[in-house]
Structure 1
Amino acid sequence: MLNYPDINPVALELGPLSIHWYGLMYILGFFAAWLLGRYRARQPNALLRPAQIEDLLFYCGIGVIAGGRLGYILFYDAATLAGDPARLLRVWEGGMSFHGGLIGVIIGSWLFVRRTGVDFLRLMDFVAPLVPVGLGAGRIGNFINGELWGRVSNVPWAMVYPPMGPDPRHPSQLYQFLLEGVLLFVALWLFSRKPRPTMAVSGLFLALYGGFRFLVEFVRMPDAHIGYLAFGWVTMGQLLSIPMIALGIVLLLWAYRATYRLTYQ
């Protein structure tokens, strides 16, 4: 059994201004995506030029923040919206949804495509390997904030977080950091180093993330105001991940089937 390290969620205070670790994790994620994007853009036959990465990140960054917030309210807290519409704008109160952020990134990328004329599906394959670093950084931010804890457990690495009581719990934020951040990044980066059929990289991203998230939800506590949706174990995170898994598999099969037809016709 481990004890949660007492981490101050505020990294730095400058007079009335408080800089939180969670916000810094977002900055770290975008900076890493910028570096990786410029690296990929310098490769032979790259879809984008290095100078275009800043514009792409601008559109995707707006999509992450707007989509993540809107997705959280609609997927996890819709009951409060009618009585308090301004809650949608109070992002400092917390609450961001990955699935909403993903939709925001897709919309932002589509707007970037409208401006530049690059192929949308190829752009999605370009963007997918840049995402996991930001996901991993965000999960470290969740851990520092002491949120999104797992269920009570007796595994040796279970952790006691005093505000949630004396029982040790799965550090599910760290599981997600390892799966959605580290492992997903390694898998996508290695997979995308060789030429792949269009949609294959995006399909692998959707299938792997959806699968990782679905599995972690078995040991992660559901949102208290939602609870389990069915059978005493189905969570909103799992419900939202099932379409990702299905679409990812469809894209992979479609991509390689199309390539097979072109090769053997």
Structure 2
Amino acid sequence: MSAPGGEPVILASIPSPSEGVWHVGGFPIRGYALCIVVGILIAIVVGDKRFVARGGKPGQIADVAMWAVPFGIVGGRIYHVITTPDDYFGDGGKPLDAVKIWEGGLGIWGAIALGGVGAWIGARQAGLAWPPIADAVVPGIALAQAAGRWGNWFNQELYGKPTDLPWALEIDPEHRPSATPDAATYHPTFLYESLWCIGVAALLIWADRRFNLGRGQVFALYVAVYCTGRFWIEALRVDTAHEFAGMRLNNWTSILLFAAAVAFLVISRRRGDRREPTPYRVGREAASETPAAEIPAPESPAADER
């Protein structure tokens, strides 16, 4: 159906914001940055609550985040630039734009990898073991991703193929790909991934309670389940991306990480790994803060296998 002027009539769709930047007193407030900040706060609050339940102290996750967050932002940007170099260093590219994080472009795997390095540094300084921290914060990280994806909505970026589904996303002409300039609505892949990440967080919390996960198992489960969703969502996207053997690089990354995460889970569960009795590093003074009498004896792997 078309309007008298020839423009298609959209019966139902998700509108995009008319603008993604607001100026308050001459200072720009960007929707993308707000979504990232909200996500970080969610991750810290959820992670802190779960870490205390594992035997840690309130505020320790915030201390670790002081290292993890800046490392993660830098890592996410490096991954994005490496996987889409033509936008910055190709013909007509703008190298200086590589540092403009506020314009969008944070790769989750770079953020997780380098953010993990920052978390490890912060954990060592606090006398904490890294696996309990990873297991405690990762549901919050999934929720942070769910919030952060709405930044793509504000920037009108990283959407999917054209579609006329009732939940299609309206994209302004200046943000549409050159291949489909007349298509007004596209798959809202930001919304698909946001909803998927909420489901991932719920699954992690349930599985952690049900199966007494620990020693990095919650984190590994996150990688496996997130990669499953990211694979099909990535296949819908139409933004420029490097390909290898006919498939987007992020899809190959998802396959490899999924396989590694599943292998880790199988091996870890078979050898009887269960939740750590304390989140503190063995041999550090902080470990003495948890009296030995309060530390439950580890479960017998043989008993679990019966």
Q: What TM-score bracket applies, with the shorter chain setting the length?
A: 0.7 to 0.9
- 1:21 counterpart (31, 44, 47): 31
Q: Which amino acid aligns with 2:245?
A: A
Q: Is the 8 A contact 2:17 2:153 kept in 1?
A: no
SS class of match (2:158): coil
The answer on 1:65 being equivalent to 2:73 is yes
Q: How does 1:112-151 map to 2 (within 5 A)?
A: 112-151=122-161
Q: Is the 8 A contact 1:81 1:88 kept in 2?
A: no
C-alpha separation in 2, matches of 1:159 and 1:42: 40
Corresponding residue of 1:108: 118
The answer on 1:210 being equivalent to 2:248 is no
Corresponding residue of 1:198: 215
Corresponding residue of 1:219: 236
- 2:251 counterpart (213, 234, 238): 238
Corresponding residue of 2:201: 185
Deviation at 1:22, TM superposition (A): 1.0
C-alpha separation in 2, matches of 1:14 and 1:256: 53
SS class of match (1:19): strand
C-alpha separation in 1, matches of 2:242 and 2:74: 25
C-alpha separation in 2, matches of 1:254 and 1:137: 33
Deviation at 1:178, TM superposition (A): 0.7
How large is the Cα RMSD of the aligned pairs?
Answer: 2.5
Structure 2 unaligned runs (5+)? 1-10, 274-298
**Rg (Cα) greater in structure:** 2
C-alpha separation in 1, matches of 2:94 and 2:190: 29
- 2:83 counterpart (75, 82, 85): 75
Q: Closer, same or farther in 2 for the Cα pair 1:190/1:14, shift >3 Å?
A: same
The answer on 1:174 being equivalent to 2:191 is yes
Q: Is the 8 A contact 1:151 1:220 kept in 2?
A: yes
- 1:247 counterpart (260, 279, 283): 260
Deviation at 1:73, TM superposition (A): 1.1
The answer on 1:53 being equivalent to 2:53 is no
Q: Is the 8 A contact 1:47 1:122 kept in 2?
A: no
C-alpha separation in 1, matches of 2:87 and 2:155: 25
Deviation at 1:258, TM superposition (A): 1.3
Q: Closer, same or farther in 2 for the Cα pair 1:133/1:76, shift >3 Å?
A: same
Structure 1 unaligned runs (5+)? none
Corresponding residue of 2:302: 264
Q: Which amino acid aligns with 1:19?
A: I
C-alpha separation in 2, matches of 1:183 and 1:198: 22
Count the aligned residue pairs.
258
SS class of match (1:193): helix
Q: What fraction of aligned residue pairs are identical, expressed as a percent?
A: 26
| TM-score normalized with structure 2 length | 0.76
SS class of match (1:13): strand
C-alpha separation in 2, matches of 1:173 and 1:40: 27
| TM-score normalized with structure 1 length | 0.87
